[in-house]
Structure 1
Amino acid sequence: MSEHDASAAGINPRQADDDRRPEGQAGVSEQTLLEQMGGVSGLAYSAVPIVVFVLVSSFTSMMPAIWASIGVAVAIAIFRLVRKEPLQPAISGVLGVAVCSFIAYRSGETKGFFLLGIWTSLIYGGVFLASVLARWPLVGVAWSALNGLGMNWRKQRRAMRAYDIATLSWTAVFAAKYVVQQWLYDNDQTGWLAFARIAMGYPLTGIALIVTVWAIRRAKKVAEEQAAAAQISQA
């Protein structure tokens, strides 16, 4: 396949080269999706300040819990920097804990620590849903932007449907987080809020990632089939 044909079909020429590598390497680009979210370690590190906040607040009070969670977040960021891991997740982790702590301080309640996550879930879920309704499914748009691909997949019905399904899976994840955690917040269940935030994060995110990888591979296959058909018609 020529570079022109690959580009016309919505395939990155470098990605097309990857497809000619031995089996086992063709899925490397999909594996980068989790890396772009901070990796498995990023997901694990994000849970530590939450656990520290709840434990310290249970035995002492809110202010020691705030400083303890911020201190742990900074320590994790330094640890990641020393290990030369991606900088962005480390900075985001510190800022996220700092903002959550500030909200808790201003509200005067320990459960306020979880307000940012609750409302972020609502906003993210709304954005993902709106992107599907607007026929610009966010999973497809984000993946194409991150990997330098075009938007020709929007003209391919099967690719569009796959990205719709993946985007709706993320909508469902954020909606579930919002509904459950908002209910726990309204009922002053701070301990269960922490549990729900961590417990719902890993399994639901994992499911959404599986659906996302399926959608990416589906769209890639559709683009390859279209490029092959175009090449045959020109022969």
Structure 2
Amino acid sequence: MTSIDKPATTDPNAPQGTDPQNDAEARAVTEAALFEAFGGVRGMVETVVPGLLFVTIYTINKDLHASAIAAVAVSLLLVAVRLIRRDTVKHAFSGVFGVAFGVVFAMMTGDAKDFYLPGMVYTLGLAVAYIGTSVAGVPLIGLILGPVFKENLSWRTRNPGRKSAYTKASYAWGFILLAKCAILFPLYWWADTTQLGWVLVSLKIPPFLLAVYLTWVFLAKAPAPIDVFAEMEAEEASREREREREQEQR
């Protein structure tokens, strides 16, 4: 059983940090969940490589078609590698769709700079979603990580400390992505394709790592997740024992 499979052994409403052993276990669970949800190192590589290859080739020969074909090809290769290794393909597939949208848009307009526009619009929309869901009381990070922690939406009504942590993390993601957009959109209008491309590639990982780190900080200090799946299994086992007792009494 991995750390992420372990049900919470502490009071879900008690803050972490009072028991060193439980605190260390909670931090390990949080790290494992974040690693699983956001794809880890491989997920970051699969996010960066297609765009890096596109801007590298375009910088060398200014050929939109060659750059686009190379970006799509490496995206498909990354998916194939995951399929061969029987790994989860959600991160690689998201990269393929992102590259495909960029390629189609750039081909339609004939402007290589437009390869980056769908991803930039997506980033802006994601920033708005993080902030908007936080304001609405249903932070997006909680919706993403709840199933990973096996707590689903229990944090909304039963674990206010975790809801607060998810809200803070979602705000962090939203404002970090907004800051990224504040850099990229002016460059889209003022810079050339290669300048925009290199800046965009350089901004792929650092903001992401900052957002993940802040999420880890907030969740590491939050109450432990409530394992709703373990609760359902326990309730089912209890009902089964009750049925067995009733049958014995008969």
What TM-score bracket applies, with the shorter chain setting the length?
A: 0.7 to 0.9
**Is 2:53 the partner of 1:52?**
yes
Q: Closer, same or farther in 2 for the Cα pair 1:18/1:74, shift >3 Å?
A: farther
Q: Which moved more, 1:177-186 or 1:33-42?
A: 33-42
**Conservation of the 8 A alpha-carbon contact between 2:33 and 2:148:** no
Number of the residue aligned with 1:176: 179
The aligned length equals 212
Number of the residue aligned with 1:87: 89
Q: Closer, same or farther in 2 for the Cα pair 1:222/1:67, shift >3 Å?
A: closer
Q: Closer, same or farther in 2 for the Cα pair 1:53/1:151, shift >3 Å?
A: same
Q: Which runs of 4+ in 1 moved over 6 A?
A: 18-23
Q: Flag the structure with higher helix content.
A: 1
Q: Closer, same or farther in 2 for the Cα pair 1:196/1:24, shift >3 Å?
A: same
**Residues 56-104 of structure 1: CA deviation (Å, up to 9, x unaligned):** 2231411111111111211222223333332222222222211110011
Number of the residue aligned with 1:6: none
**Conservation of the 8 A alpha-carbon contact between 1:104 and 1:111:** yes
**Residues 137-174 of structure 1: CA deviation (Å, up to 9, x unaligned):** 22223322333314345566544432222111101121
Number of the residue aligned with 1:16: 8
- Residue pairs, 1:115-130, within 5 angstroms: 115-130=117-132
Q: Closer, same or farther in 2 for the Cα pair 1:18/1:73, shift >3 Å?
A: farther
Distance in 1 (alpha carbons) for counterparts of 2:144 and 2:35 = 13
**2:147 partner SS:** helix
CA RMSD, Structure 1 to Structure 2 (Å): 2.8
Distance in 2 (alpha carbons) for counterparts of 1:159 and 1:214 = 12
**Residues 114-150 of structure 1: CA deviation (Å, up to 9, x unaligned):** 0011101111111111112112222223322333314
Give percent identity, aligned residues only. Answer: 24
User: What letter corresponds to residue 47 of structure 1 in structure 2?
Assistant: V
Distance in 2 (alpha carbons) for counterparts of 1:131 and 1:108 = 36
Number of the residue aligned with 1:232: none
Q: Closer, same or farther in 2 for the Cα pair 1:187/1:15, shift >3 Å?
A: same
**Conservation of the 8 A alpha-carbon contact between 1:118 and 1:177:** no
Distance in 1 (alpha carbons) for counterparts of 2:73 and 2:218 = 39
User: Structure 1: where are the runs of 5+ without partners?
Assistant: 1-11, 224-235
Distance in 1 (alpha carbons) for counterparts of 2:110 and 2:58 = 13
Number of the residue aligned with 1:195: 198
Q: Closer, same or farther in 2 for the Cα pair 1:222/1:36, shift >3 Å?
A: closer
Could you tell me the TM-score, scaled by structure 1's length?
A: 0.78
Distance in 1 (alpha carbons) for counterparts of 2:94 and 2:155 = 32
Distance in 2 (alpha carbons) for counterparts of 1:75 and 1:132 = 37
Deviation at 1:17, TM superposition (A): 4.5
Number of the residue aligned with 2:27: 27
**Conservation of the 8 A alpha-carbon contact between 1:50 and 1:69:** yes
**Is 2:158 the partner of 1:166?**
no
**1:220 partner SS:** coil
Deviation at 1:35, TM superposition (A): 2.1
Distance in 2 (alpha carbons) for counterparts of 1:13 and 1:53 = 39
Distance in 1 (alpha carbons) for counterparts of 2:138 and 2:197 = 34
Number of the residue aligned with 2:42: 41
Q: Closer, same or farther in 2 for the Cα pair 1:22/1:212, shift >3 Å?
A: closer
Larger CA Rg, structure 1 vs 2: 2
**Conservation of the 8 A alpha-carbon contact between 1:159 and 1:219:** yes
Q: Closer, same or farther in 2 for the Cα pair 1:135/1:22, shift >3 Å?
A: closer
User: What letter corresponds to residue 173 of structure 1 in structure 2?
Assistant: I
